[in-house]
Amino acid sequence: MTAPATVMVVLGTRPEAIKLAPVIRALRETSDLRPVVVVSGQHRHILDEVLDLFEIVPDHDLELLRDRHTLTHVTTATLTGLERLIRLELPAAVIVQGDTTTTFAASLAAFYAQVPVVHVEAGLRSGDRWSPYPEEINRQLTTRLTSLHLAPTSTARRCLLDEGVDPLSIVVTGNTVIDALQWVVGQLDAGTHGMWHIDDRRLVLVTAHRRESWDGGLAEIAYALREVVADRTDVRVLFPIHPNPVVREAMTPVLGSLQNVEVVEPLGYREFVAAMAASYVIVSDSGGVQEEAPSLGVPVLVTRENTERPEAVEAGTARIVGNQRAEIVKQLGLLLDDPTEHSRMRRAINPYGDGLAAARTVEALRHLVWSAPRPADFVATAEAGQD
């Protein structure tokens, strides 16, 4: 019997873990593919909760944890750490997800080692290299390094084709976050479902962390929320605050003392799903939330200038409002005060998949690994004078 092929799965952040968890679980159910999970350790204290929820124990940890990461540190440390692990594990492919700096650096490390890169959630584009920053460029660079592009939607596939990507290297799978969401919803009990329904007030769930909002945008979002809740006693805000000190320093002074705003530590994914399901409106700059909320029938106001997920906007379940106070106040007030407008967004159809993305991912990976010529085992060949 042929030994299973090793597939290295690299992740660094909680969203990556959520979206790759269904893939890892599906790989573990196969007999011909052996997943090796590598975590970078950027936000290990919030990453571990997701790993525990999905019963994933990492095989390797690059231990990059620092109080204030720089993009350069994450890139160089990931490159160095993965060079060693690729030599050790000799993977037939390296799987990355999305748009983080870990994603790009892991793709580059695999490319240097002449190991095929498999990009989950490939092809998303905003068209603005500075927004989201650095995610838009991370995605574009990863595309250039990728052998198998797993696009979540036909729109993402078209973006890849427009950039000259070989159509035979693209598979439309749906988004794996829907797989994860459906699994977690199925695990919720009545107590967890109801934990955020503590009174009759409508819940507004907020997340904020994007780098392009660090220079004033985060404070604008906070002031907008304060203005909206000031004269609406039937509304309360739940804000699980990101661990990044920049986010906390910008938003806590504005929101921390308001009676109808709860600033809490990051929620576990199970509790966060319950909070999304209980929400009347979500205000967020998160890409994952733009994908998850449609499945739960919750409108999303996107506090960014653009989105690489136009499907949600086109479907009507998400609306781009930017990160300036006046527009956020206007649009959030509209949804809170106009039931017809709220109902129109709530009934929009989820464009992101059917919960079978992980199964399609494994089948595409199996074809790459077993139907195409296997890459030669990586052996370090750096010579004097080589770049």
Q: Which of 286, 298, 300, 285 is nearest to 332 (CA)?
A: 300
The pLDDT score that the predictor gives to residue 379 is: 35
Rounded mean pLDDT, 199-224: 92
- In this model, does residue 45 exceed pLDDT 70? yes
Helices (H), the chain: 14-28, 44-53, 71-89, 101-112, 135-145, 154-162, 176-187, 190-193, 217-230, 245-255, 269-278, 287-296, 310-315, 325-337, 339-346, 357-371
The pLDDT score that the predictor gives to residue 374 is: 42
Q: Which pLDDT band holds residue 194 (cuts at 50, 70, 90)?
A: confident
SS3 301: strand
> pLDDT tens-digit profile of 115-128?
999 999 999 999 99
pTM: 0.87
Q: Which pLDDT band holds residue 385 (cuts at 50, 70, 90)?
A: very low
For residues 247 and 324, what is the distance between their CA atoms, to the nearest angstrom?
16
Where residue 316 falls (left for φ over 0; alpha for ψ -120 to 50; beta otherwise) is left
For 189-346, CATH number?
3.40.50.2000
The pLDDT score that the predictor gives to residue 377 is: 39
Most confident of 110-114, 184-188, 315-319: 110-114
Amino acid making up residue 219: A
- Domain ranges in the chain with CATH number 3.40.50.2000: 5-174+356-371, 189-346
User: Of 73, 209, 248, 344, which is the active-site residue?
Assistant: 209
Tell the burial category of 227 from Cβ atoms under 10 Å away from its Cβ (0-12, 13-18, 19+).
Answer: middle
User: Of 49, 89, 121, 285, which is the active-site residue?
Assistant: 121
The pLDDT score that the predictor gives to residue 348 is: 66
Q: What is the mean pLDDT of the chain?
A: 90
The two three-digit tokens of residue 58, written as one number: 């990492």
Q: Which of 173, 44, 36, 17 is nearest to 110 (CA)?
A: 36
User: Of 43, 125, 242, 342, which is the active-site residue?
Assistant: 242
The pLDDT score that the predictor gives to residue 376 is: 43
User: Of 69, 211, 232, 344, which is the active-site residue?
Assistant: 211
For residues 178 and 273, what is the distance between their CA atoms, to the nearest angstrom?
12
Is residue 121 among the annotated active site residues?
yes
The pLDDT score that the predictor gives to residue 365 is: 97
> pLDDT tens-digit profile of 142-181?
999 999 999 999 999 999 999 999 999 999 999 999 999 9
For residues 192 and 190, what is the distance between their CA atoms, to the nearest angstrom?
6
Is residue 311 among the annotated active site residues?
no
The two three-digit tokens of residue 376, written as one number: 């030669």
Rounded mean pLDDT, 58-78: 84
Cα distance from N-terminal residue to C-terminal residue, the chain: 41
- Our CA angle for 307, 310, 312, nearest 5°, is 105
The two three-digit tokens of residue 249, written as one number: 């320093």
User: Of 99, 291, 292, 311, which is the active-site residue?
Assistant: 99
Most confident of 1-5, 34-38, 373-377: 34-38
For residues 375 and 90, what is the distance between their CA atoms, to the nearest angstrom?
10
Rounded mean pLDDT, 284-301: 93
Rg value, the chain, Cα? 21
Share of the chain above pLDDT 70, in %: 94
Is residue 383 among the annotated active site residues?
no
User: Of 16, 49, 89, 135, which is the active-site residue?
Assistant: 135
Rounded mean pLDDT, 287-306: 93
Domain 5-174+356-371 has CATH 3.20.20.450: no
Helices (H), 231-324: 245-255, 269-278, 287-296, 310-315
Residue in the block written with tokens 């649009």: 331
Is residue 308 among the annotated active site residues?
no
Is residue 236 among the annotated active site residues?
no
Alpha carbon 120 to chain centroid, angstroms: 11
